[in-house]
Structure 1
Amino acid sequence: MRRLIRGLFGRLMLGMIAVSVLAVCVTAVFLYIRFDAINTRFREGTLHSFAVSIAKDVHGVGRKVFATIRPSTMARMEKEGGRFIVLGPSGARLASSAGATDAFVPVEDVPERYFELPKGTGPDTLYGLSLRLPEASPPAYVQVAFPSSDVVFDSVLEEFLQDIAWLWIPFMLLMLATNLLVARIALRPLAQTVEEAGAIQPGGVSVSLSEKGLPDDVLALVRAVNQALKRLREGYRAQEEFSGDMAHELRTPLAVMKAQLAVIDAPYGRVLERELSGMERLVEQLLDRVRLGRFRIEPGDVVDLREVTREAAAFLAPRVVARGRAIEVEAGPTPVLVAGGRDDLFRAVRNLVENALEHAPAGSLISLAVTDRPAIRVVDGGAGFPSVLLDAERRQRGLVRSDRREGVGLGLAIVERTMQVHGGRLDLTNPEAGGACAEMVFPRPASPSLPSRPAAGAA
């Protein structure tokens, strides 16, 4: 619920609910005030109508007043539950309905006076009118009263509430549902933009968010984000070009120095030669990193993981044996095909094997296995990966570094980046039996039956 409220659609939904409830409440109050005013006017008109009808039957002769109320008028009042009384100049009763013996209210020398009597012996409040007869001399008065439930407009209001007012609730719900549907449709392009932004992976600054179908206010934000991504692309490209240029410039002097040291017959020459080999490997890794920044998988780029793994193992086997370790490859007879670049995957497997070689103890075995997952798994018998390398989130943010003595630890970072551009991932674990396990996990290819490209030369 808290997550819904924090979202834009959730806030719109709560706002619409609040506005709808407030609108219904304001409408109800307004209708109540209006109905109450109309009810008062209608009640007063009803009382005045009955009082005038009775007044027509009151006549003055000289100084005397006579009241002969027609039976039809009395029947109408009785039918409606009303009461009346006609008072003479001295306040004496001249005529009345059954049970009315005294004035309902004291008479006053005013043309008309509306009054309300609290509940007495009856179940309802009485609303009445005291009317002074303008033609009678001396003055006479007619007083009529009706229970509130028997005034005609009350029954009309009650029928209105029963037959019409209940429609407010379904009308409010229908209006709210319509507003929410409209809001959902209006926010649909924004939801697509959020999905596109969430799919951006590390190094994926080359993508741009779609601007199609967005409202103007959201479009301004998306364009600002796209401009920021463009600036990141330019900075990223400049960094990659600098790294590539630096690596290319270093290759030639390093090769010259190695050639000169090869003819020096002295112990320090071999030491310097090993250091230069490490520098050469670092340059190669920098070039690999630059190549990955420009990598794109084209249709038909299908690689057999068994072949790549065997080539990498064969390429590094002499070095592994020279260091006093052993290496093996486990792969089934069936090709394991994935979409990708053969040379890039070769370099990724090579980096994993070199990393294992640096940490595996003398006399141990480095095992490479190709599984139908599809995946390539490299296991060594060393001390395992440090905990910081087991954090996938840190690796995805580019914080992966190996503690190899050779190089500056770009190997695992290059493998991580290689798997990202191939749509897969790098899983690092420490098995319970000891050692370290690095697994390159690939997505299953859409067309696994496609033939792979011809083998490229391993470098």
Structure 2
Amino acid sequence: MRLAVATVTLFVLAFGVATLFLYNRFEILNGRFREGTLRSFAYTVAHELMADPAASRDGHFGPVARQVIEDGGVYALLTQDGRLLAAAPGITEPLVAPEGSKARFFMLPRHEQAPLYGLSSTVRKTQPPLTIQVAFPNGPLVFDTVLEEFVQDIAWIWVPFLAGTVVVNLLVTRIALRPLRRAAQQAELIEPGHVGIRLSEGSMPDEVLILVRAVNQSLARLQQGYLVLEQFVGDVAHEMRTPLAIMKTQVAMAGGAVAQPIVEDLNRMERLVEQLLDRVRLGGLHVEADDVVDLAMVAREVTALLGPAAIARGLSMELIGAERPVPVAGLRDYLYRALRNLVENALMHAPSGTMITVAVEADGAVSVRDRGGGFGADLLGPGAVQGREFRSGREDGIGLGLSIVDRTMTAHGGRLELRNAADGGAIATMRFGQQPVSELPVLLHGNLALK
């Protein structure tokens, strides 16, 4: 819009300057042409009148004299002493008093008509010399004609030329800034889980390329700092695994009334350590086009692993829809840990004596439902899990498991959906993109054979 306004303003100023210049030039040329025309008419009329001075008095005029009269002009042929020899009809005296032999231009006022602009000049070819006076209505005859032709034939071209130039400038600018729009779309994808993204520098305007390169260098430094932090978290979590395992063994061997609560606390700490490790592993997650997982098999493995834990807590667990393969594009280990996080989250919050349901859907989704208190309202809106990385929205837990699942699904081109059931309880769904079964037959048969 600024470009369009600037272009229009420039054209208006250029048109105004050009018009003033042409007006001035036309005015000068018109004056010169008018004076030359008056001289030509004056000498031609004088020649006709001197040939037969009595003719005009009898109403017979030469062709040039007749043209002067028809154009609203007048003329008079005078002797040196100012006596009238011949004149246009209605002229009974000199138009102006002669002033020697020098030619001069004059203006005659008229009542209710345009004033007359004329020439008084001496005709030296006669002896004695005579004075001829010719006057025409004072109108910019030549100037008006030329200016009218200019407006009709030239000036109107500026309008489509201006419109075309504005359109072309806008299109060129839009095309030139297209790489910048692509860079903006790439920048929208940058987040803690995708710090390796860089803005494209190809075809970038030179004026913007410096800024884009500076942003890419800043992103590289941020990625390095992020990777160092991730590595630190991973190192800490890895170092904590062995002490926790030793503590669990020692407490279990000691026995006693307080042993079981301590073991449960250690189990929660151990789960937190595993989640931290999972969080670090997500930094290297990359799904290739030929990575295929049987979602039904993953669900069977997770429920088989955590089924005893559910029974120990007084819960029941059911698996629905895992009778047939459900192929999805992804990495088995990451999806296994993500689904395990959801089931463990349900185990922590489901009341004793209730059922936990793991359901596999044929269109590429798996959901985990418990009959607990449900998710808090702050976790049910779009993007709530990303925006509240360390809040679970429940009475217990820090929400790291949900964050891991959400990042895992984002890396797989899917999403994590959280909602509360109408009859109570929470439902967490890992939903993948559409993946036709016909594209994955060989790998599916391989997975089934391993079973």
Same fold (TM over 0.5): yes
Shift of 1:284: 0.3
Partners of 2:319 and 2:82 in 1: CA distance: 124
**Pair 1:410–1:129, CA change in 2 (3 A):** same
Alpha carbons 2:78, 2:130 under 8 Å: kept: no
Alpha carbons 2:186, 2:197 under 8 Å: kept: no
Partners of 1:446 and 1:209 in 2: CA distance: 33
Alpha carbons 2:296, 2:321 under 8 Å: kept: yes
**Pair 1:116–1:356, CA change in 2 (3 A):** farther
- Tell me the SS of whatever aligns to 2:177: helix
Q: Does 1:422 align with 2:412?
A: yes
**Pair 1:129–1:211, CA change in 2 (3 A):** same
Structure 2 counterparts to residues 27-42 of structure 1, below 5 A: 27-42=18-33
Shift of 1:366: 2.2
**1:224 paired residue number:** 214
Structure 2 counterparts to residues 208-357 of structure 1, below 5 A: 208-331=198-321, 333-357=323-347
Higher relative contact order (CA 8 A, sep 6+): 1
Shift of 1:71: 1.1
Shift of 1:170: 2.0
Letter in 1 for 2:249: A
Shift of 1:235: 0.8
- Tell me the SS of whatever aligns to 1:38: helix
**1:43 paired residue number:** 34
- Larger CA deviation: 90-99 vs 357-366: 90-99
Shift of 1:224: 0.8
Shift of 1:348: 1.0
Alpha carbons 1:281, 1:407 under 8 Å: kept: no
- Tell me the SS of whatever aligns to 1:427: strand
**1:443 paired residue number:** 433
Alpha carbons 1:51, 1:129 under 8 Å: kept: no
Partners of 1:362 and 1:232 in 2: CA distance: 46
Q: Over residues 114-147 of structure 1, what are the superposed CA-to-partner deviations in whole Å (9 max), with x where a residue is unaligned? A: 54857x545xx44512434385999956241136
**Pair 1:88–1:384, CA change in 2 (3 A):** farther
- Tell me the SS of whatever aligns to 2:267: helix
Q: Does 1:206 align with 2:187?
A: no
Partners of 2:311 and 2:54 in 1: CA distance: 136
Instruction: Give 2:66's match in structure 1, choosing from 55, 58, 75.
Output: 75
Partners of 2:13 and 2:319 in 1: CA distance: 73
**Pair 1:341–1:152, CA change in 2 (3 A):** same
> Which runs of 5 or more structure 1 residues have no equivalent in the other structure?
1-9, 60-65
Partners of 1:447 and 1:50 in 2: CA distance: 100
Alpha carbons 1:39, 1:154 under 8 Å: kept: no
Alpha carbons 2:365, 2:430 under 8 Å: kept: yes
- Tell me the SS of whatever aligns to 2:202: coil
- Tell me the SS of whatever aligns to 1:210: coil
Instruction: Give 2:133's match in structure 1, choosing from 136, 142, 157.
Output: 142
Letter in 2 for 1:402: S
**2:105 paired residue number:** 113
Q: Over residues 123-177 of structure 1, what are the superposed CA-to-partner deviations in whole Å (9 max), with x where a residue is unaligned? A: xx4451243438599995624113637x345334323332333222222223333
**1:24 paired residue number:** 15
Percent identical among aligned pairs is: 45
Alpha carbons 2:30, 2:142 under 8 Å: kept: no
**Pair 1:406–1:157, CA change in 2 (3 A):** closer
Letter in 1 for 2:29: I
**Pair 1:265–1:378, CA change in 2 (3 A):** closer
Partners of 1:99 and 1:222 in 2: CA distance: 87
Alpha carbons 1:24, 1:172 under 8 Å: kept: no
Shift of 1:233: 0.6
**Pair 1:394–1:127, CA change in 2 (3 A):** farther
Letter in 2 for 1:112: R
Q: Does 1:380 align with 2:380?
A: no
Letter in 2 for 1:340: G
Alpha carbons 2:105, 2:118 under 8 Å: kept: yes
Shift of 1:91: 6.5
Alpha carbons 1:423, 1:443 under 8 Å: kept: yes
Letter in 1 for 2:23: Y
**1:133 paired residue number:** 122
- Tell me the SS of whatever aligns to 1:377: strand
Shift of 1:217: 1.4
Over the aligned positions, Cα root-mean-square deviation in angstroms equals 3.3
Letter in 1 for 2:359: A
**Superposition TM-score, scaled by structure 2 size:** 0.84
> Which runs of 5 or more structure 2 residues have no equivalent in the other structure?
none
Q: Over residues 320-349 of structure 1, what are the superposed CA-to-partner deviations in whole Å (9 max), with x where a residue is unaligned? A: 222233222221655322211111111111
Partners of 2:168 and 2:43 in 1: CA distance: 53
**Aligned residues between the structures:** 437
Partners of 1:219 and 1:116 in 2: CA distance: 72
Q: Over residues 254-279 of structure 1, what are the superposed CA-to-partner deviations in whole Å (9 max), with x where a residue is unaligned? A: 11111111111222222221111111
Partners of 2:200 and 2:87 in 1: CA distance: 86
Shift of 1:40: 3.5
Alpha carbons 1:39, 1:153 under 8 Å: kept: yes
Q: Over residues 294-345 of structure 1, what are the superposed CA-to-partner deviations in whole Å (9 max), with x where a residue is unaligned? A: 1111342111222222222222222222223322222165532221111111
Partners of 1:114 and 1:430 in 2: CA distance: 102
Alpha carbons 1:67, 1:86 under 8 Å: kept: no
Shift of 1:231: 0.9
**Pair 1:30–1:433, CA change in 2 (3 A):** farther
Letter in 2 for 1:133: T
Letter in 1 for 2:428: A
Letter in 2 for 1:342: R
**Pair 1:37–1:262, CA change in 2 (3 A):** same
Partners of 2:251 and 2:183 in 1: CA distance: 58
**Superposition TM-score, scaled by structure 1 size:** 0.83
Partners of 1:146 and 1:218 in 2: CA distance: 65
